[in-house]
Structure 1
Amino acid sequence: MARPLIADIDLDALRHNYRLARDQAPHSRAVAVIKADAYGHGAVACAQALEALAPAFAVACLEEAQALREASITTPIVLLEGIFATAELEHVETLDLWLVIHSDWQLEALLAYCPAHPIPVWLKVDSGMHRLGFPPAQVEAMWARLAAAPERACDLHLMSHFASADALQSADFRRQLELLDDLAIRLAAPTCFANSPATLAWPEAHGAWNRPGVMLYGSDPLEASNEASRRLTPVMTLRSAIIAVRELAAGEAVGYGGRWRAPRPSRIGVVACGYGDGYDRHAVDGTPVLVDGQRTAIAGKVSMDMLTVDLTDLPEADIGSEVVLWGRATNGQILSVDEVAHHCDTLSYTLLSGVLPRVPRRYHGAH
Structure 2
Amino acid sequence: MPRPIQAHINSSAIRHNYLVAKRFAASGANGAKAWAVVKANAYGHGLFRIANALRDVADGFALLEIEAAIALREAGFQHPILLMEGFFDAEDLAACIAYGFTACVHQMYQLQMIRKAQPAVPMPIYLKLNTGMNRLGFVPEQIPALRSELAQNPAIGSVTLMMHFAEADGERGIDWQVKEFAQMCTGLDHPVSMANSAAIINFPQTAHDWVRPGIMLYGSSPFADVSAKQLELTPVMTLTSRILAVQKIQPGERVGYGGTFVATRPTRVGIVACGYADGYPRHASTGTPILVNGVRTQTLGRVSMDMLACDLTDLPEADIGAPVVLWGEGLSADEVAAAAGTISYELFCALAPRVPVVEI
Runs ≥4 residues deviating over 3 A: 182-186, 226-229
1:91-130 alignment runs, 5 A limit: 91-130=95-134
Specify which of 147, 156, 159 is matched with residue 159 of structure 2: 156
Note closer, same or farther for the CA distance 1:2–1:38 as it changes in structure 2 (3 Å cut): same
- Partners of 1:144 and 1:53 in 2: how far apart? 38
- Partners of 1:191 and 1:226 in 2: how far apart? 29
- Partners of 2:216 and 2:25 in 1: how far apart? 14
**Could you give the per-residue CA deviations for residues 279-319 of structure 1, whole angstroms, max 9, x where no partner exists?**
10000100000001100000010011111101001000011
- Partners of 2:228 and 2:248 in 1: how far apart? 44
1:171-186 alignment runs, 5 A limit: 173-184=174-185, 186=187
The gaps in structure 2 that reach 5 residues or longer are: none
Residue aligned with 2:240, SS: strand
Note closer, same or farther for the CA distance 1:147–1:289 as it changes in structure 2 (3 Å cut): farther
The residue that corresponds to 1:331 in the other structure is none
Note closer, same or farther for the CA distance 1:12–1:105 as it changes in structure 2 (3 Å cut): same
Q: CA deviation at 1:115?
A: 1.2
The residue that corresponds to 2:334 in the other structure is 338
Q: CA deviation at 1:184?
A: 3.5
The one-letter amino acid paired with 2:190 is A
**Could you give the per-residue CA deviations for residues 37-79 of structure 1, whole angstroms, max 9, x where no partner exists?**
0000001110111111111100012122122223322211100
Check the 8 A contact 1:48/1:73 in 2, yes or no: no
Note closer, same or farther for the CA distance 1:206–1:8 as it changes in structure 2 (3 Å cut): same
Note closer, same or farther for the CA distance 1:270–1:70 as it changes in structure 2 (3 Å cut): farther
The one-letter amino acid paired with 1:335 is L
Q: Percent identity?
A: 47
- Partners of 1:311 and 1:139 in 2: how far apart? 62
Q: CA deviation at 1:106?
A: 1.4
Check the 8 A contact 2:220/2:228 in 1, yes or no: no
The residue that corresponds to 1:13 in the other structure is 13
Check the 8 A contact 1:220/1:230 in 2, yes or no: yes
The residue that corresponds to 2:207 in the other structure is 206
Q: CA deviation at 1:143?
A: 4.0
The one-letter amino acid paired with 1:347 is I
Residue aligned with 1:231, SS: coil
Check the 8 A contact 2:219/2:228 in 1, yes or no: no
Q: CA deviation at 1:147?
A: 4.2
Check the 8 A contact 1:215/1:232 in 2, yes or no: yes
The one-letter amino acid paired with 2:8 is D
Residue aligned with 1:8, SS: strand
Check the 8 A contact 1:120/1:154 in 2, yes or no: yes
The one-letter amino acid paired with 1:241 is R
- Partners of 2:346 and 2:303 in 1: how far apart? 16
RMSD: 1.5
The gaps in structure 1 that reach 5 residues or longer are: 329-333
- Partners of 2:199 and 2:106 in 1: how far apart? 21
The residue that corresponds to 2:196 in the other structure is 195
- Partners of 1:229 and 1:61 in 2: how far apart? 33
Residue aligned with 1:123, SS: strand
- Partners of 1:140 and 1:229 in 2: how far apart? 45
The residue that corresponds to 1:3 in the other structure is 3
- Partners of 2:193 and 2:249 in 1: how far apart? 57
1:1-150 alignment runs, 5 A limit: 1-26=1-26, 27=30, 28-150=32-154
TM-score, length-scaled by structure 1:
0.94
The one-letter amino acid paired with 2:63 is V
- Partners of 1:297 and 1:19 in 2: how far apart? 34
Residue aligned with 1:158, SS: strand
* 2:289 matches 1:288: yes
Note closer, same or farther for the CA distance 1:140–1:19 as it changes in structure 2 (3 Å cut): farther
**Could you give the per-residue CA deviations for residues 116-163 of structure 1, whole angstroms, max 9, x where no partner exists?**
21211000001000000010231353244234323x221100001110
Count of aligned positions = 356
**Could you give the per-residue CA deviations for residues 225-255 of structure 1, whole angstroms, max 9, x where no partner exists?**
2899521111100111111111111211110
Q: CA deviation at 1:188?
A: 1.7
Check the 8 A contact 2:107/2:137 in 1, yes or no: yes
* 2:353 matches 1:354: no
Residue aligned with 2:242, SS: strand
- Partners of 1:53 and 1:177 in 2: how far apart? 29
- Partners of 1:56 and 1:128 in 2: how far apart? 27
- Partners of 1:227 and 1:327 in 2: how far apart? 11
- Partners of 1:241 and 1:104 in 2: how far apart? 54
Residue aligned with 1:78, SS: strand
Check the 8 A contact 2:4/2:241 in 1, yes or no: yes
- Partners of 2:148 and 2:278 in 1: how far apart? 49
Tell me which moved more, 308-317 or 109-118.
109-118
Note closer, same or farther for the CA distance 1:115–1:15 as it changes in structure 2 (3 Å cut): same
